[in-house]
């Protein structure tokens, strides 16, 4: 795909690679049904002639110069503009996942950057700039649900499932010892109830990662926390089992702490 996109970019002055193609080149998170797409999307200003190339999906759009960049010789939409362009096509949940990855704070010791690709405020400004774009309503809805702190799509999906189940919104990247950079963290959790939730994906099957996970969980448990670990099976059932487990735990905690009777929704 990269070679095809580069060739298309080179013969299309004034236009740029966009939509799913740009998302794949940026290595952005896409839902499974799009992650292997070979579609070639090309956007251009409305004043340029219509693109008519076999196998190319053309788009006539309005875009500012700061919404387009050149990456390894390919002129393409930025990650933020790509997120906005995909608002029409993705579900609300998938759009939130994509947006969460744009605004997440990178882990400097694992990545070659220290700043997020964009901020929630930056995405909001982008959305306000294009009030008539198709999908803009869904983009606005996604902005209200996006949060800094999700390190993966399943973490975002778990949080959204919890909200749909009328559970209190959890904290993200919850440190056992606030202010301590060496503190173990939970992907999601409730400090008020000393409940830590972890999503362990495929890389957690590696022996070194499993050792690190056990050490992390034991640190929480030694401090009196309950740790619940979720995995791929929970993604497959839409986190229905997971939200049931969380509800039962919080209801038990509420009975043990009667002064916090309003903490858990009855939904």
Question: Cα separation of 85 and 147, whole Å?
Answer: 20
Q: Are 197 and 161 in contact (CB under 8 A)?
A: no
C-alpha–C-alpha distance, residues 236 and 152, integer Å = 15
Yes or no: say if 99 and 153 are a contact pair by the CB < 8 Å rule: no
Q: Region 188-203: what's the mean pLDDT?
A: 88
Sign of the torsion angle spanned by Cα atoms 31, 36, 38, 42: positive
CA distance 148 to 212: 24
pLDDT digits (tens, 9 = 90+) for 126-166: 999 999 999 999 999 999 999 999 999 999 999 999 999 99
User: Would you say residue 259 has pLDDT above 60?
Assistant: no
Q: What is the pLDDT of residues 216-243, one digit of tens each?
A: 999 999 999 999 999 999 999 999 999 9
Please work out, in degrees rounded to the nearest 5, the angle formed at the alpha carbon of residue 46 by the alpha carbons of 43 and 48.
85
Output b/e per residue, 81-111; b: 16+ Cβ within 10 A. Answer: bbbbbbbeebeebbbbbbbbbbbbeeeeeee
pLDDT in tens, 60-85: 999 999 999 999 999 999 999 999 99
User: Does the pLDDT of residue 206 top 90, yes or no?
Assistant: no
| Closest C-alpha to 195, from 162, 147, 229 | 229
pLDDT value at residue 210: 73
Question: pTM to 2 decimals?
Answer: 0.89
Domains of the chain and CATH, by start: 2-145 (no CATH), 153-260 (3.40.960.10)
pLDDT at 211 over 70: yes
């Amino acid at each position: 795909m990269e070679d095809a996109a580069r060739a298309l970019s080179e013969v299309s002055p004034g236009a740029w690679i966009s939509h799913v193609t740009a998302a794949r080149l940026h290595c952005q998170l896409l839902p499974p049904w799009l992650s292997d797409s070979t579609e070639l999307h090309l956007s251009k200003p409305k004043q340029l002639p219509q693109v008519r190339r076999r196998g190319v999906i053309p788009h006539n759009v309005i875009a500012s110069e700061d919404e387009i960049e050149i990456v390894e010789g390919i002129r393409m939409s930025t990650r933020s503009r790509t997120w906005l362009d995909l608002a029409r096509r993705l579900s609300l949940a998938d759009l939130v996942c994509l947006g969460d990855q744009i605004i997440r704070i990178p882990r400097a010791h694992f990545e070659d950057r220290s700043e997020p690709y964009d901020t929630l405020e930056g995405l909001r400004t982008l959305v306000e700039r294009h009030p008539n774009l198709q999908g803009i309503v869904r983009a606005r809805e996604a902005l209200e649900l996006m949060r800094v702190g999700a390190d993966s799509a399943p973490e975002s999906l778990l949080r959204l499932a919890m909200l749909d189940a009328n559970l209190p919104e959890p904290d993200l990247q919850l440190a056992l010892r606030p202010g301590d950079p060496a503190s173990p963290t939970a992907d999601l959790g409730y400090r008020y109830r000393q409940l830590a939730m972890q999503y362990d994906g495929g890389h957690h099957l590696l022996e070194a990662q499993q050792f690190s996970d056990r050490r992390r969980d034991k640190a929480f448990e030694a401090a009196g926390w309950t740790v619940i670990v979720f995995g791929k099976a929970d993604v497959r059932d839409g986190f229905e089992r997971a939200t049931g487990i969380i509800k039962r735990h919080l209801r038990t905690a509420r009975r043990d702490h009667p002064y916090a009777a309003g903490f858990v929704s009855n939904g």
